[in-house]
């Protein structure tokens, strides 16, 4: 009966001796590079407590499934094209209003309806007015008196200058009543009165308004025509203040008619833009040469202006989450950690945003799928608020876990107050000039 006990005791002694020999010839603890060591190293490098509050960890595989895309922050000089909508308008300095200077009747009309193009000195309408009869008679009498004085041998020297002054006076009367210069000269050449007074086009242009018909009786001041010289037009744009600042007087912009595949160039007028209180926009106009009268009033055009910015840190607009109170981007901290960071922005053009504070060139940020990361980050921040106190970094402006800052020695005391920092660089800047940063107002905890 004792024999089995002897065998069991002998086996136990051999096993203890074997294990004692194994550990005596091996390093203390697990071998370097063993799975246990790798696990410990990995867990130490991926300890969430060593990251900033709100940081979330997403593995590369999960990032790919979630559609998360990273990109490096760059500091470059960029040129963007500002595109706005423009509307063609007639140049106000090239609009002619033709009104009646006397009472009368329309005697003859011509084929010039609204929208037709007329040439300079082209007849527009012929009318009759009794006031022209006496004015023409006085003009013809002055012309005849000058002719007689030139042939008389015993004339008084002052008669010829006086006759010429009378001719000029009566000719001005005819012009003021509405007779054209061409017709006044025709009366002087033929020495014949006319029953019909013609109104001629003062410049080449398009008829915008027409108010005549045969036999029509009109009164003094009646508007007959409105003619616009469209050889040069305006392109008017309604711009917000952040857009209008790029359209300085003298700036050259491109005007496009996409449907006709036509391109023009225009120069910003020196006239100050008008502010429209209804739309809260500034009305800026371009002065454009219009060969071939392609641009017509009230046509819509595209206006393009290249804008070049100096070198600056820029990111895609989708990378910035704007809550209205703060703007946040997610920075890749390695090993799948994505850290939320508040930033300050400058200009916003197209799909790019300038970052004036919060990012450095070379850092990687989330540019796609950041809304999914943001929801996870908010949960992390909520947990940090429950289990740890958060303070504001006076230098970098980011939220800092008090527990983490104390553990890593990122604190400084100035005038009896303790300050907490998110990085060693922020702490070093504070230590070099604590009065500068301590004087800044610090917002409350997140």
For the whole prediction, is pTM greater than 0.85?
no
Which pLDDT belongs to residue 28? Answer: 36
Which pLDDT belongs to residue 30? Answer: 36
* Measured distance CA(222)–CA(212) in Å, rounded: 10
Residue 192 burial (CB count, 10 A): 9
> What is the residue extent of each domain of the chain?
49-78+310-372, 82-91+230-308, 93-228, 388-446
Give exposure, 347-376, as e/b (b: 16+ Cβ within 10 Å).
Answer: eebeebbbbeebbeeebebbbbbbebbbeb
Beta strands across the sheet bearing 197-200: 197-200, 123-128, 104-109, 217-218
Which pLDDT belongs to residue 90? Answer: 93
Tell me the average confidence (pLDDT) per consecutive run of 10 residues in the chain, 446 residues long. 49 45 38 36 45 77 83 85 92 93 93 92 92 89 84 72 87 89 89 90 92 93 94 94 86 92 92 86 93 92 89 87 85 86 83 87 86 71 57 80 81 89 87 84 46
Q: Does domain 82-91+230-308 have CATH number 2.40.30.170?
A: yes
- In three-state secondary structure terms, 228 is strand
Would 49-78+310-372 and 82-91+230-308 be classified into the same CATH topology?
Answer: no
Element (H, E) at 67: none
CA 58 to chain centre: 37
C-alpha triplet 376, 380, 384: angle, nearest 5°? 170
CATH architecture of 93-228: Beta Barrel (2.40)
* Measured distance CA(132)–CA(130) in Å, rounded: 5
Q: Which CATH number fits domain 49-78+310-372: 1.10.10.60, 3.40.50.300, 2.30.40.10, 2.40.420.20?
A: 2.40.420.20
Residue pair 195/127 in contact by the 8 Å Cβ criterion: no
Q: What is the β-pairing status of strands 300-308 and 337-349?
A: unpaired
């Amino acid at each position: 009966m004792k024999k089995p006990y002897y065998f069991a005791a002998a086996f136990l002694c051999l096993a203890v001796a074997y294990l004692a020999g194994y550990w005596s010839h091996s390093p203390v603890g697990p071998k370097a590079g063993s799975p246990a060591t790798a696990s410990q190293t990995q867990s130490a490098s991926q300890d969430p407590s060593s990251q900033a509050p709100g940081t979330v960890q997403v593995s590369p595989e999960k990032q790919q499934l979630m559609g998360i895309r990273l990109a490096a922050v760059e500091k470059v000089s960029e040129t963007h094209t500002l595109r706005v909508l423009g509307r063609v308008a007639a140049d106000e300095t090239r609009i002619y209003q033709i009104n009646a200077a006397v009472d009368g009747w329309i005697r003859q009309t011509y084929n010039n309806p609204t929208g037709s193009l007329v040439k300079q000195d082209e007849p527009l309408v012929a009318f009759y007015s009794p006031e022209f009869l006496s004015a023409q008679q006085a003009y013809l009498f002055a012309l005849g008196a000058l002719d007689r004085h030139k042939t008389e041998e015993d004339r008084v020297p002052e008669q010829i200058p006086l006759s010429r002054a009378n001719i000029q006076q009566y000719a001005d009367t005819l012009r003021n009543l509405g007779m054209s210069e061409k017709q006044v000269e025709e009366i002087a050449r033929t020495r014949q009165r006319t029953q019909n007074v013609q109104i001629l086009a003062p410049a080449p242009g398009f008829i915008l308004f027409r108010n005549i018909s045969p036999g029509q009786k009109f009164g003094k001041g009646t508007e007959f025509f409105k003619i616009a010289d469209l050889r040069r037009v305006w392109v008017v744009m309604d711009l917000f203040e952040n857009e209008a600042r790029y359209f300085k007087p003298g700036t050259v912009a491109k005007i496009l008619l996409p449907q006709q595949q036509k391109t023009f160039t225009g120069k910003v007028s020196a006239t100050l833009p008008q502010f429209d209180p209804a739309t809260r926009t500034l009305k800026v106009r371009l002065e454009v040469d219009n060969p071939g009268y392609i641009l017509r009033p009230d046509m819509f055009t595209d206006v393009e202006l290249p804008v070049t910015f100096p070198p600056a840190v820029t990111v895609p607009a989708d990378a910035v989450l704007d809550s209205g109170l703060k703007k946040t981007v997610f920075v890749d901290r390695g090993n799948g950690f994505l850290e939320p960071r508040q930033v300050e922005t400058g200009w916003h053009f197209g799909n790019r945003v300038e970052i004036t504070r919060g990012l450095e060139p070379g850092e990687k940020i989330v540019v796609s799928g950041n809304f999914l990361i943001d929801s996870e980050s908010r949960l992390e921040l909520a947990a940090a608020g429950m289990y740890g106190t958060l303070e504001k970094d006076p230098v970098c402006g980011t939220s800092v876990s008090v527990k983490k800052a104390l553990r890593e020695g990122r604190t400084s005391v100035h005038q009896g107050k303790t300050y907490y920092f998110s990085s060693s660089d922020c702490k070093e800047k504070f230590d070099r000039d604590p009065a500068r940063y301590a004087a800044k107002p610090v917002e409350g905890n997140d």
